[in-house]
Structure 1
Amino acid sequence: MKYILLVFALMITLSASAQTNSLFNNSKQAQFWVDSVYQRLSDNQRIAQLFWIAIENTNNSKVQAQNEDLISRVQPGGVLFFKSTQDEVRELIHLFQGVSSVPLMVAIDGEWGLGMRIKDGLSFPYQMTLGAIQNDSLLYKMGYEIGCQMKDMGINVNMAPVVDVNYNPNNPVIGKRSFGEDPLNVAQKSWAYAKGLQDAGIIAVAKHFPGHGDTNKDSHLTLPVISHSKERLDSIELVPFQYVIDKGIKGVMTAHLAVTSLEENKNLPSSLSKNIVTNLLKEQMEFHGLVITDAMNMKGVSDYAGVGQNELLALLAGNDIIEFSPDIEKSITVVKQALLTGKLPRKLLEEKCKKALLAKYECGLKSNEITEIDLAKAGYLKKQLYKEAITVIKNEADIPFKNLEELNLSVVCFENKEEWKANFRRYLDVKIIDGTKESFIREDQSTKLLLLPNIKTYKKYKTQYDKYLSSNNCILVFQGNQYKLADIENFDQANSIILTYENNTITRDWVNQLIFGAIPATGKLPVSISDKYKVGCGIDLQSLGRLSYTQPEALQLNSSYINTKVDSVVNAGLTMKAFPGCRVFVAIDGKVIFNKCYGYHTYDSIKAIQADDVYDLASVTKISGPLPLIMKGVDGGLIDLDQPFSAYWPDWQKKLFHPSNKEGLSFREVLTHQAALTPYINYYPFTLKDGEYRKRYYDDHFSEKYSLQIDDHLYLKTSFKKKIYKAIRKSPLLDEHKYKYSGLSFMIYPELLSNLFHQDYEQYLYSEFFKPLGASSLRYNPLTKVDITRIVPTEMDNNFRHKLSKGRVHDEAAAVMGGISGNAGLFASADDLAKLMQMYLQRGEYGGRRYLSEEVVEEFRKVQFRGNENRRGVGFDKPIFGNDTLTIEQSYPAPGVSPESFGHSGFTGTFVWMDPKYNMLYIFLSNRVHPTRDNRLLYQKNIRPSIQQVFYDAIKQAN
């Protein structure tokens, strides 16, 4: 059904005896239905159509039986649901509609969505939070989504939006329910929300007319007095109401207020004032939709003339619908008597009843239309609203943080410590201070302190907060009602101030991303906090382009489809014990849309996989360790890929008494596995005899002579590296130069690169790439820097180290290099590995910094020897030729990847792949070698490409 949202100037005929302006459907079918229903109603039933009753205690069968009986006897016009559940509401709507001769109008107070009244319904941000958003189209989408959810429930009317201008910070009843103090901002956002509701088929109700925003009393408890002049009301309070009326809102709720400039009787509530409801709202402001009272049991009106008389006065004042009468049967009796005596004109009753019926017809109460609800899409919209609201009002600390290698950040938490730690670890492993336990310690001048208060924790730990706040370089993230920020003494001492308006997992996630430059900041204050920070204040911050964390709906992809498919593949792998656990990480367009942990560290199912767990990357080290430095060398002119490798590694040069068969091999050939090198040499057996460690090679203490750590209290002779280099030099070449994977050269790169850059390989790699990327866990030999509980174990090594490998490199060749090799040895979490890979995907740039030139990255990631049937790039793996024509069993990797894509796999069960065509990064981390490398089900069952293919299929589905 298509709903008409324009205000008609033309009078539409409802019957021969009554006419009225209306915002509702003016078709002949509508008129026929209204007239036919009206004619068969008794006077009592016609009056009852003007009353909506409250439905509470929905889980109490006795109460609901009473409600059923009341509806059956009285036949009210509608019901208004309060605290309940979705199932209860659905069941009761079906029950109540079944006993009503005229379809019931079903209403709810859903200012921030179903969740305001329905326990298991979705809640969106408060209107004050939304008031900070600069993109009103998001509010339209929210209104439409809320409308669809309500329509799906069988609800027809939403008592929203609140269009009150909250001019009083001490307002006890509006506050966060308002869009703010700027009348135009309130007006525009109110209409965006209302239009979304109405386009979804829900009647939107603007409240609380003529404006409840500048009171210091609650009309639920007393009659608030508004003493402003008519000129002031016209310039502030009435602006949003006139705006939404002109745009075509279909409902307005009248408030219980004493408005002295509009009504001479100082004790008469505005809801009962003809001057306010009829003369002002309906005639001067030309509103022709449904006028609905606020709840008539509120103290602001209930004490005026008593039950029944109040309801009669409300109808005579111009209201069409009476909400929540304390005694509907008594009220109907009083109104009926007024009808019989002529105090209530019959024409007026007819007009109101037919308007109510016409509104019901428009809502499609007789239709069976089904609304499709996508909760994942709604959840994404909710997250977007919170993100767009975040407001930066001061920024002397220069956020977002740019040079992470120089950042000394301590985060002071008074609650949600573990959650904050996990969020920050995605970008940087920062120091977390538990403010509830630790005494204030002054950090050095370079330290930035991040305070994360809400007003509750501030009041509880005020002394601690004040000490931290007065220190240098303090960044204040206030999580709560913006008015309360002023309650924090000297809050302006902070170098930077960020407001999230609400405190929940979504806002905590977004502010973390904002601080590190993954998302921009565009919010503006919806109200004034102080003379310095007034309404409209807000500093725009640009994103630095770091990975942001969101969900598939950010790219119009379907979460349900992706989750179902990936879960199916992974769970099948877990069931067949292809691996004890894994992490799947996918980013598209720099947005992490899938980031899920499965299973456990080991098959005993004791420690579940966590997001910050660290894995042995195995051969993914090849493109994570030596390759970025090699690329940097090419970028700086230190390496020419077409020069002989021996020019950079003299050990391969042929000399007297120093034979070499590798002198002429080019650097390009070596890196593309085109150099006919032997695939692999097993070095560690040289150091054993009958399975025991040979004393000439090992010592149980570190020294200059024994510096290659193999395990706890086990060190290999430093000079053993020379034996490795010699074995590589003397290894035979294969018969022809064609693609044959070889890891030999990667054993050499750490020393080669150290010599080339005159820097220690490991330290230079960290300083040039890992530290500025914020990749805290991406490192060799992580046991000294990473909590061992985060490290996922690999194989039970029964051949070399005779123990479970955990935190020591699994690969034996890398192990005899002291764990620092180019072929293996790096460990990382998925988040940290992703930063480096995303830099490759973004052609050498990440987080606002250029690490490598676009030209070099492009060169390395393209096929080099296509004519020789070699698919490899320079260091990177590539899809097999004709991959898109193959099945999942035949392809490598998934058949959906583009020919431009590139990546690498690792023996321990790791895999990374980047696809420039789709701007997609796919990471799969597992320990499939636990407890034995003989387990090859991960490969045999094509688990990794099957997961990868899901995302390509999801993209096709979306297109």
Structure 2
Amino acid sequence: MTIKSLLYLFLFVSISALAQQKNPLKTEDFRVQKAWVDSTYNSMNIDQKIGQLFMVDIFSSKSKAETDKIKNLIKENYIGGIIFSKGGPMRQAKLNNEYQEIANVPLLIGMDAEWGLAMRLDSTYAFPWNMTLGAIEDNNLIKKTGAQIAKHCKRLGVHINFAPVVDINNNPANPIIGNRSFGENKENVTQKAIAFMEGMHSEGVLSSAKHFPGHGDTDIDSHKSLPTLDFTKHRLDSLELYPFKKIIKKNVSSIMIGHLNVPALEPRTNFPSSLSKPIVTGLLQEKLNYKGLVFTDALNMRGAADYDEPGDIDLAAFLAGNDILLISENVPKAAQKIKDAYLENEITEERLAHSVKKILAAKYKVGLNNYQPVDTNYLIEDLNSIRNDILYAELMENAITVVKNDKAILPIEDLYSNKIAYVNLGDSLTETSFLQELKKYAKVDHVKSDNLGDLLYQLKSYNLVIVGYHKSNASPWKSYKFTEKELVWLHEIARTNKTILNVFARPYALLDIQSTTNLEGIVIGYQNSILAQQKTAQIIFGALPAKGKLPVSVGENFPSGTQFKTPSLHRLSYGYPESVGVNSAKLHKIDAIAELAINEEMTPGLQMIVARKGKVIYQKNFGYHTYDKLLKVTDSTIYDLASLTKIMATLPLVMELEQENKIDLNTRLKEILPFTKGSNKENITLKDMLSHYAGLKAWIPFYAATMSEDGTHASPKYYRSEKSEEFNVPVSENFYMRKDYKDSIYQKIIDSDLLKKKEYKYSDLPYYLLKKFLERYYSASLDYLTQKRFYQSLGANHMGYLPLESFNKDQITPSEIDDSWRFSKIQGTVHDQGAAMLGGIGGHAGIFSNANDVAKMMQMYLNKGNYGGINYFEPETIDKFNTCYYCDQEVRRGVGFDKPQLEKAGPTCGCVSMTSFGHSGFTGTFAWADPEEEIVYIFLSNRTFPFATNRKLISENIRTEIQRLIYEAIEYP
């Protein structure tokens, strides 16, 4: 075969392929559709046919006089469609129904909802901009976004969404496209646009690819003037037109023609593409064989409007081959111009029918042959469901992009030695959502000053600075640039400190930074939404992996496609219940139980956290520190954990030594505590006593022996109100015990009797003994050991003994008004008497914390010993201690951990798995983890305030009733 023959064959195949291009407006019941279209068309007079060509705009927020003008256009000019602009959903729905009621042919309703209805309407949802979506590698998420936006459109009676934007934004100075583009890589833009379109189509909403033939590479806004694309045909065909050609093959419903001067395609000087027959008809409809609807861009934009007079512009646009004339400046005048051209045979019946029948076919496709008005019941609720937030969160998790990661600074692993400062630049001058989220992972100090020198001086005491650059998230066109002052400040911060920059604006913001050499890490959050800030913080600390890929080039250092994928460190993340198979409506039933507990004065206040699959899905606070309601409970409020101390402090240290083969479960007390030799406790094993199966007494009221003979006050023989060398054990504020009495406590334990019969008996005494052993073994206090070996590296910055040394008293809830021994309000010192007599550092009590930090510890256990990239325990160790060794003896306990009840009564709701574990505390605390459902549940309260005799929280089973509701909310594994 000759070269000429091959060429003819290629052209034949190409022409055949174009000829077979599917009509995107056809429905499956094409014959029925055609019959309706023909019948409707044949029933119209010439004015009604011409009227179908116009889609006019209205703001639902306009006055009645303005909205009534549209009614006149419907009645007198028979317009075919309306594009709604700014306003509100309820007002729009009502107007929509009014307009449809008077139309002789149902109106095609359109909107610009590129990132959701919120592009135009208040009280509706804004999804991420296309630039943000362009950073996502998983195009199924883009399809889900298109589908969710289409659901909103459909619910509001909108039939066509003028999206997706398929312009390739390879010009950072583009003033109107920018964030509206999926990026500069033509393949990425194309695939994202197709996925978005397919999502819309799946919900029965028409799509529109814009702005043909490509509005990306210009620095002129066509709303204000006529941009020029002075490129060769080859360039245009291979780049700007590329996504249009691909999306046409995938049956995009419509194409919107931009107002652009494209000399290579239209020979007339400064002639808008929207009025160009060579472009609209010759290129789009003939060469590309496009059979769908063709819209002009808004004809009131200066890019078109400056060309000619209203009416003449509309006629020129129709003659060029457009089907629908969008936002004419003068519909009656334009309709008359077109009618005159029709009557003068400048426009044929065939040409008119070509467009009008396409419009009618589109109306049939969206169901307007069987029009139903918009139901306004629950409209706002339907448009703002939690599904929006769930999808938005998932999109941000996949979009946020690490573009620089020197020495793998991200994610931040070492919380032990990093002292972290936060500095914010940009529009936000107060504490941001970003900072609040950072604080959930580590101690992060907000450092601020109006003076650069002072700021740099303050930063000297830190070894890591996180900078948040925040710009307005109100629209994609808002300013994103650093000020000159901010650039200087950022340069100096980075020059003198290890710095991670987080940009909550479009990536082009980096272009003005003279050098990024001194920035160790750069993260692009793309937008300044709350979720973008929260997810960025979670990625920084490794609660989530970084997955995004830069969709545009930012100078030479950060080309399009730049990406550093960072790992998950299995720290807790924060998100929505549905993302892990939990029904949020059902989960929030626990609010009512919590409020009942507050209202019935079962406790002054409480904190709760629920996590599933490593994600916190519920974190709420209720009530106040005390019944006087002066201080509200917040996330940072600290509670006395009481017996949760056993599994938060003592048990992990014991587990660590067992894992290192320093002890084992069969180790006897006399082997680790020589002073027990010869006593009735010398042969008690760790397994027995930590299973509460060693015959030990439940507790000993050590303080009772230190009271006056009549029991009315603490004996001065043992206590002083001022600290001295002899009286140096702090029991509570201004209350110090004689230092040698600690030995008496241990002697009383050694001398105590064992139960006559070996049976289950919960006891604090093992933890007194283990405190003694651990502190002797390490030559350090439990306070020091727990901080250095667990809390600091976990990022449990609110957890520890002796909270008054680290926190303001007002941050700590009081636990009781002690009217029998200490005769004071107990706040910031341990409630348990025995632990107080040990200086506040007990093996069984003394730890204070907020719920968030308790959740970290429980999640570490649930992760089989791993958290934050640190392997604290081997899975075998966790399993060994989370085993009920004496279940056959009716002992439900594991080794240190509490376990679910064996019969009816017990510590849980009875609905948890038998592999679950946790503990409760006397002050009204509870922590439980379930490996099978991957649930962590934390409940903290001070139900003992003002008096420990208040047992209503316990008698009403508040903690376990909440646990039951959590499990009822689980919908799938």
Short-chain TM bin: over 0.9
Distance in structure 2 (CA, Å) of the matches to 1:327 and 1:931:
75
Secondary structure, in 3 states, of the residue corresponding to 2:509? helix
Q: Is the 8 A contact 2:571 2:614 kept in 1?
A: yes
Secondary structure of 1:393 counterpart:
strand
CA distance in 1, matches of 2:21, 2:657: 80
Match of residue 431, structure 2, among 396, 417, 420: 417
- Supply the AA of the counterpart residue of 2:166: V
Alignment partner of 1:799 out of 816, 820, 831: 820
1:602 to 2:613 alignment? no
Aligned to 1:501: 526
Tell me, yes or no, if the aligned pair for 1:162 and 1:178 is still in contact at 8 Å. yes
The separation in 2 between residues aligned to 1:249 and 1:399, in whole angstroms, is 41
One-letter code of the match for 1:916?
Answer: P
Within 5 A, what are the aligned runs for 1:389-400? 389-397=399-407, 398-400=409-411
**Does the 8 Å contact 1:597/1:610 carry over to 2?**
yes
Q: Which residue of 1 aligns with 2:14?
A: none
| Structure 1 residue 685: Cα displacement | 2.4
How large is the RMSD of aligned CA atoms in angstroms? 2.0
Distance in structure 2 (CA, Å) of the matches to 1:531 and 1:730: 77
Q: Determine which of 67, 71, 94 is the counterpart of 1:68.
A: 71
1:923 counterpart residue number: 938
Tell whether 2:467 aligns with 1:451: yes
Q: What residue number does 2:135 align with?
A: 132
Which amino acid in the other structure matches residue 491 of structure 2?
Answer: D
Alignment partner of 2:207: what SS?
A: strand
Q: Which residue of 2 aligns with 1:657?
A: none
Once the two structures are superposed, what CA deviation does each residue of 1:615-640 show, in whole Å capped at 9, x if it has no partner? 11011111111100011111112222
Whether the 8 Å CA contact 1:10–1:21 is kept in 2: the answer is no
User: Equivalent residue for 1:432?
Assistant: 446
Where does structure 2 lack aligned partners over 5 or more consecutive residues?
Answer: 1-16, 471-479
Offset, 1:217: 0.8
* TM-score, scaled to structure 2: 0.93
**Mapped pair 1:311 → 2:335:** no
User: Structure 1 residues 701, 605: closer, same or farther in 2, change over 3 A?
Assistant: closer
Residue type matched to 1:480 in 2? A
> Deviation digits for residues 175-222 of structure 1, max 9, x if unmatched?
111111111111011111111011111111110000010111111111
Deviates more, 1:623-632 or 1:637-646: 637-646
- Per the alignment, do residues 58 and 811 of structure 1 end up closer, same or farther by CA in structure 2, a change over 3 Å counting? same
Letter in 2 for 1:473: K
C-alpha contact 1:133 1:522 (8 A) present in aligned 2: yes
Aligned to 1:615: 639
CA distance in 1, matches of 2:398, 2:497: 29
The C-alpha deviation readout for 1:491-522, integer Å capped at 9, x for no partner, is 33211111111112112111111111111112
The 8 Å contact of residues 620 and 905 in structure 1, kept in 2 or not, is answered as yes
CA contact (8 A) 2:421 2:462 kept: no
Which position in structure 1 is the counterpart of 2:11? none
Rounded Cα–Cα distance in structure 2 between residues aligned with 1:156 and 1:169: 33
Partner SS, residue 186 of structure 1: helix
Give the corresponding residue for 1:381.
391
- Supply the distance in 1 between the matched residues of 2:434 and 2:768 (Cα, whole angstroms): 39
Number of equivalenced pairs: 933
Q: Which region of structure 1 is more displaced relative to structure 2, 695-704 or 588-597?
A: 695-704
Q: Which amino acid aligns with 1:767?
A: K
Deviation of 1:704 (Å)? 4.4
Offset at residue 939 of structure 1 (A): 1.8
Q: Tell me the alpha carbon deviations over residues 439-476 of structure 1, each in whole angstroms, 9 at most, x when there is no partner.
A: 32175597112222245665454443332121131211
Residue 105 of structure 1 corresponds to: 108
Q: Distance in 2 between matches of 1:928 and 1:147?
A: 49
- Cα deviation, residue 128, structure 1: 0.9
For 2:19 and 2:655, locate their aligned partners in 1 and report how far apart those are by CA, in whole Å: 72
Equivalent AA in structure 2 for residue 931 of structure 1: P
**TM superposition shift of 1:909:** 0.9
Alignment of 1:688 onto 2:698: no
Q: Residue 418 and residue 275 in structure 1: after superposition, are their counterparts in 2 closer, same or farther (change >3 A)?
A: closer
Cα shift at 1:851? 0.8
Residue 414 of structure 2 is aligned to residue 403 of structure 1: yes
State the Cα deviation string for residues 577-620 of structure 1 (Å, max 9, x = none).
22222111111111111112222222223322211211110111
Larger deviation, residues 30-39 vs 449-458: 449-458
Q: Report the CA distance shift for 1:242/1:153 in structure 2 as closer, same or farther (over 3 A).
A: same
CA distance in structure 2 between the aligned counterparts of 1:8 and 1:123, rounded to whole angstroms: 38
The residue number in structure 1 matching 2:173 is: 170
Q: Aligned partners of 2:384 and 2:169: how far apart in 1? A: 33
Could you tell me whether the CA contact under 8 Å between 1:672 and 1:874 is conserved in 2? yes
Alpha carbons 1:684, 1:812 under 8 Å: kept: yes
* Partner Cα separation in structure 2 for residue 625 and residue 65 of structure 1: 72
Q: Deviations over 1:690-712 (max 9, x none)?
A: 43332221234434432311223
Contact 2:60 2:88 in 1 (8 A): no
Q: Deviations over 1:769-790 (max 9, x none)?
A: 1111111111001011123232
Q: Secondary structure of the equivalent of 1:326?
A: coil
> 1:26 offset after TM fit, Å?
4.9
Partners in 1 of 2:86 and 2:528 — Cα distance? 23
Distance in 2 (alpha carbons) for counterparts of 1:21 and 1:646: 84
Cα pair 2:135 2:551 within 8 Å, conserved: yes
* Helix, strand or coil at the partner of 2:341: helix
User: What letter is aligned with 1:718?
Assistant: K
- Deviation of 1:746 after TM superposition, in Å, equals 1.4
2:182 corresponds to 1:179: yes
Distance across 1 between alignment mates of 2:502 and 2:122: 29
Matches within 5 A, 1:411-810: 411-414=422-425, 415-417=429-431, 419-436=433-450, 438-441=454-457, 443=459, 447-454=463-470, 455=480, 458-459=483-484, 461-563=486-588, 565-654=589-678, 660-689=679-708, 690-810=711-831
- Cα distance in 1 for partners of 2:68, 2:628 equals 53
In structure 2, C-alpha distance between the alignment counterparts of 1:41 and 1:547, rounded to whole Å: 64
Distance 1:825 1:443 in 2: 34
CA deviations on 1:148-175 (whole Å, 9 max, x unpaired) are 1110111111011110001111111111
SS at match of 1:684: helix
Q: Which residue matches 2:6?
A: none
**Kindly tell me: are residues 442 and 819 of structure 1, through their superposed partners in 2, closer, same or farther at Cα, counting changes over 3 Å?**
closer
The aligned counterpart of 2:914 is 899
Partners in 1 of 2:695 and 2:841 — Cα distance? 25
**Residue 15 of structure 1 corresponds to which residue in structure 2?**
none
Give the conservation status (yes or no) of the 8 Å contact 2:26–2:361. Answer: no
SS at match of 1:951: helix
| Mean Cα deviation higher: 852-861 or 144-153 | 852-861
Q: State whether residues 60 and 84 of structure 2, in contact with CA within 8 Å, keep that contact through their aligned partners in structure 1.
A: no
Q: Quote the offset at 1:125 in angstroms.
A: 0.9
Contact between 1:751 and 1:761, CA under 8 Å: does it hold in 2?
Answer: no
Q: TM-score, normalised by structure 1?
A: 0.94
Q: Which whole-Å deviations, capped at 9, do the CAs of 1:116-161 have from their partners, x for residues lacking one?
A: 0011110011111111111111110010000011101111110111
Letter of the aligned partner of 1:609 in structure 2?
V
How far 1:61 sits from its partner (Å)? 2.3
Separation in structure 2 between the aligned mates of residue 541 and residue 584 of structure 1, nearest angstrom? 30
Q: Deviations over 1:69-100 (max 9, x none)?
A: 33233221111111111111111111111111
The 1-side partners of 2:432 and 2:667 are apart by 52
Amino-acid identity (%): 37
2:152 aligned with 1:149: yes
Aligned residues of 1:9 and 1:21 also touching (Cα < 8 A) = no
Determine if contact 1:25/1:358 at 8 Å carries over to the other structure.
no
Shift of residue 878 of structure 1?
0.5
- Deviation per CA, 1:919-941: give whole Å up to 9, x if none: 11111111111222222221222
| Amino acid corresponding to residue 27 of structure 1 in structure 2 | F
Measure how far apart 1:226 and its partner are.
1.0
Cα pair 1:106 1:156 within 8 Å, conserved:
yes
Secondary structure at the aligned position of 1:441 is classed as: helix
State the distance in 1 between where 2:703 and 2:395 align.
Answer: 57
